[in-house]
Amino acid sequence: MAIATINPATGETLKSFEPLKDAEIAAKLDLANQAFEQYRKTSFAQRSQWLQKAAQILDQEKTDFAKVMTLEMGKPYKAAISEVEKCAAVCRYYAENAADFLADVEVKTDASHSFVRYQPMGIILAVMPWNFPFWQVFRFAAPTLMAGNVGLLKHASNVPQSALAIAEIFQRAGFPEGVFQTLLIGAAKVADIISDDRVKAATLTGSEPAGASLAATAGKHIKKTVLELGGSDPFIVLASADIETAVATATAARMLNTGQSCIAAKRFIVEEAIADRFEKLLLDKFLALKVGDPMQPDTDLGPLATPDILQDLDQQVQVAKNSGGKVLTGGYPMSDRPGNFYPPTIITDIPLDAPIAQEEFFGPVALLFRVPDIDAAIKLANATPFGLGASAWTNNDQERDRLISEIEAGAVFINGLVKSDPRLPFGGIKRSGYGRELSIQGIQEFVNVKTVWVK
């Protein structure tokens, strides 16, 4: 794939970049390695000062950064503004809390003095996706840099200007040269970088095949990985729920980022007693959404990021229809305009045993299923190889406790939208990946947990 900014709303190529040559990659690895030897000795207070400055830059220039994201991958501009603000928030969170998260932990043993110390590992490689071009990187970078590690970013090839802008933010914030670098390279170069002895670990957010490939290479070289992969998140609505609020949240949960989010609600599992009402209200909400120019403030849905994503999504919709699914609205690409536009789509009546019922739809397509009771709802929610997040709606305490305990996912949100929050760990189980980002768990993924025993 070419490394280029191609406006998904128009198909116009705005800027192209030459991938780094092998000698240039080697030079950046050398620089990162040298930077780590000095950076690891800096204090939490100094790192915090630099990261606070990065947050300040993000806040002050959020309109510029948001525009870059919208032009590169089609995110509605108002959502892009929110994304930059969230990046500033995660920087401040770790700037304020990292010293406590990584403080020595005293443990009473037979020693005179024994404790656990957290120390940085070195160069961490981040392979990041296009759908949240700033947030995915900052939620990795903020804890990684505060822990005393240095970062190398291999971003998605369709968001090169976002990748370069992020590296520039850290440089302008005062971080020493080489502490955070962007590598404009294709996916084929990733294995060689992971194999380099100077690279100590890697994290990837992206597709299941990409995660499997990275983990296999890292495993061969005995290196730790954290993977955040796909999801086919259930959104369960039981009869006791507040239906109007559930429908409003369901619409937001499916259409976030034009449906291009791993934690977007994708399978709507509704108890039969309220299914007709839920379906009608959801259809009304979908029909009211405005698809159009992502730079306009009243646009709800922009284009999909690339023509391939549009084609893959439409192919899934056609398979769902051929499997017996019924399309209530949408169900076809919007060919009356340039760009990668797909309308809000609802599909019902997909047989539960159809393979397509378990797949992840990465776009504005909702699959609606009816179930007789909570037992069937939980069974269907878990009938997928993924286990990232789940939203469940009930006002019954016993149902709530069952949903929390029995849904197989890295996160369960009761009567709320699944979202990432710097204060809470984020990640999945099953084929949605392993390891955690954010909170104290996230910063402790890429450190040496050293046991110290003194007598």
Catalytic residue, candidates 262, 408, 437, 445: 262
What pLDDT is recorded for position 366?
98
Whether the predicted pLDDT of 1 surpasses 80: no
DSSP structure class, residue 75: -
- Per-residue pLDDT tens digits for 43-72: 999 999 999 999 999 999 999 999 999 999
Residue 341: pLDDT band (50, 70, 90) is very high
Q: Judging by DSSP bridges, how do beta strands 3-6 and 411-414 pair with one another?
A: unpaired
Catalytic residue, candidates 228, 271, 408, 437: 228
- Per-residue pLDDT tens digits for 215-261: 999 999 999 999 999 999 999 999 999 999 999 999 999 999 999 99
Task: Please confirm, yes or no, whether 228 is among the known catalytic residues.
Answer: yes
What pLDDT is recorded for position 185?
98
What pLDDT is recorded for position 240?
98
Task: Please confirm, yes or no, whether 83 is among the known catalytic residues.
Answer: no
Whether the predicted pLDDT of 115 surpasses 90: yes
Average pLDDT value for the chain: 98
Nearest alpha-carbon partner for 416 in 151, 273, 286, 236: 236
Residue 371: pLDDT band (50, 70, 90) is very high
DSSP states of 264-315 as a string?
Answer: SEEEEEEEHHHHHHHHHHHHHHHHTPPBS-TTSTT-SB---SSHHHHHHHHH
DSSP structure class, residue 437: B
| All domains in the chain, ordered by first residue | 3-229+432-454 (3.40.605.10), 233-421 (3.40.309.10)
- Per-residue pLDDT tens digits for 173-201: 999 999 999 999 999 999 999 999 999 99
- Mean pLDDT across 116-123: 98
pTM higher than the cut 0.85: yes
